[in-house]
C-alpha cells in the first residue's frame, strides 16, 4: 500500500473524489473536538479513572446498585447534552449530500452525526447504541433519555422502568452485551458494498466493528484511515491521514478544490 507521508491528505482526497460509493466508519476521535472525551486516549475516561470502566460492564451494572447510581450521574452529566457537531461531523454530512455515502457506521453514542445532518440520504448505523434513549433490561421498553433524566433530577438515583418496574440503562452496548444483530448485519453489508471505506477517529481495536475494515478491503474497497495513532489495519490502508480530523476530513471529502488544509 502507498502511504504518502505529509501528502497523505492530498492522496486520500484523490481516492475519495474518484469513489462512487463510500462507507464511513467513525470512532470516538471524531467527537473529541466537540468536547466528548474518548476512553483510551491521554485524557480518556478510562485512562484518568480505570474504575469508571465498571459502569460499562453489564454484569457489574446489574449486580451493584452503587454502580447504577454512579452510571445515572454520569449520564446526567454527559457532555453529549451540550455538545455540538464539529467540522468532522459536518464534513461527513456534506459527503452524504453529494449522494455518494452508502452508510455512516459509528461507534459513538452521542448522536452528533445526526445533529450535523447525516442520516437523511443514507443510514447512520449506531453499532454501540445511543445515549439518547433508555431501555428496560426486563421488558425492552425504550423511552427518550431526557424523560428518565428528569426523574434523576427529581431525586430518583436508580429509576426503574415505568412499565414493568424493571432495571433501566442507556440504550448502549455495555461490555458483556451482544451487538444488535440487525444493525451489525447492515454494517457488514455497507462495508462489502462500497468502493472506498473511510475509517476516521477510531483505534480499530474493538471487534467485531474493527473487522469491517478488512471485510471492505477483501471485497475490493480502497481503505483510507484517518487517525492520529497507528491502528492494527494500517498495512491494508491505501492512505493514512494523521492530521487533526476536523481539518483533514473537511479537506479530503470536499468537492471544492479551493477548500484545502491551512
State the sign of the Cα–Cα–Cα–Cα dihedral 93, 217, 44, 179.
Answer: positive
Is the separation of the CB atoms in 109 and 28 below 8 Å? no
Q: Are strands 101-106 and 22-26 parallel, antiparallel or unpaired?
A: parallel
Active-site entry in 89, 90, 113, 128: 128
Query: Which cell is 7 given?
Result: 501528502
Q: Are strands 196-200 and 22-26 parallel, antiparallel or unpaired?
A: parallel
Query: Which cell is 214 given?
Result: 478488512
The rounded distance, in Å, linking the Cα atoms of 198 and 213 is: 9
The rounded distance, in Å, linking the Cα atoms of 32 and 159 is: 30
What does each C-alpha distance from 84 to 35, 52, 81, 124 come to in angstroms? 8, 24, 9, 17
Is the separation of the CB atoms in 79 and 35 below 8 Å? yes
DSSP 231: -
Edge-to-edge strand order for the sheet containing 239-241?
Answer: 124-126, 101-106, 22-26, 196-200, 222-226, 239-241
State yes or no: is 128 an active-site residue: yes
Distance of CA 124 to the CA centre of its chain: 10
Report, as residue numbers or ranges, the catalytic residues.
Answer: 128
Amino acid at each position: 500500500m502507498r502511504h504518502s507521508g505529509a501528502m497523505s491528505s492530498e492522496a486520500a482526497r484523490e481516492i475519495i473524489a474518484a469513489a462512487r460509493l463510500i462507507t464511513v466508519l467513525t470512532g470516538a476521535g471524531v467527537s473529541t473536538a466537540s468536547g466528548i472525551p474518548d476512553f483510551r486516549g491521554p485524557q480518556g475516561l478510562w485512562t484518568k479513572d480505570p474504575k469508571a470502566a465498571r459502569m460499562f460492564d453489564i454484569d457489574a451494572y446489574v449486580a451493584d446498585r452503587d454502580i447504577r447510581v454512579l452510571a445515572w450521574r454520569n449520564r446526567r452529566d454527559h457532555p453529549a447534552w451540550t455538545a455540538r457537531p464539529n467540522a468532522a461531523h459536518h464534513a461527513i454530512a456534506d459527503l452524504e449530500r453529494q449522494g455518494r455515502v452508502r452508510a455512516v457506521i459509528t461507534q459513538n453514542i452521542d448522536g452528533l452525526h445526526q445533529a450535523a445532518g447525516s442520516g437523511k440520504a443514507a443510514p447512520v448505523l449506531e453499532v454501540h447504541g445511543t445515549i439518547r434513549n433508555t431501555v428496560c433490561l426486563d421488558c425492552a421498553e425504550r423511552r427518550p433519555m431526557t424523560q428518565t433524566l428528569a426523574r434523576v433530577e427529581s431525586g430518583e438515583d436508580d429509576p426503574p422502568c415505568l412499565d414493568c418496574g424493571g432495571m433501566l440503562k442507556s440504550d448502549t452496548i455495555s461490555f458483556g452485551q451482544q451487538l444488535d444483530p440487525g444493525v451489525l448485519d447492515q454494517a457488514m453489508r455497507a462495508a462489502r458494498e462500497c468502493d472506498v471505506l473511510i475509517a476516521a477517529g477510531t483505534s480499530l481495536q474493538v471487534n467485531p466493528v474493527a473487522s469491517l475494515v478488512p471485510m471492505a478491503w477483501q471485497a475490493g474497497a480502497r481503505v483510507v484511515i484517518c487517525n492520529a495513532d497507528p491502528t492494527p489495519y494500517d498495512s491494508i490502508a491505501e492512505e493514512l491521514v494523521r492530521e487533526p480530523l476536523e481539518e483533514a476530513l473537511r479537506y479530503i471529502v470536499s468537492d471544492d478544490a479551493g477548500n484545502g488544509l491551512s
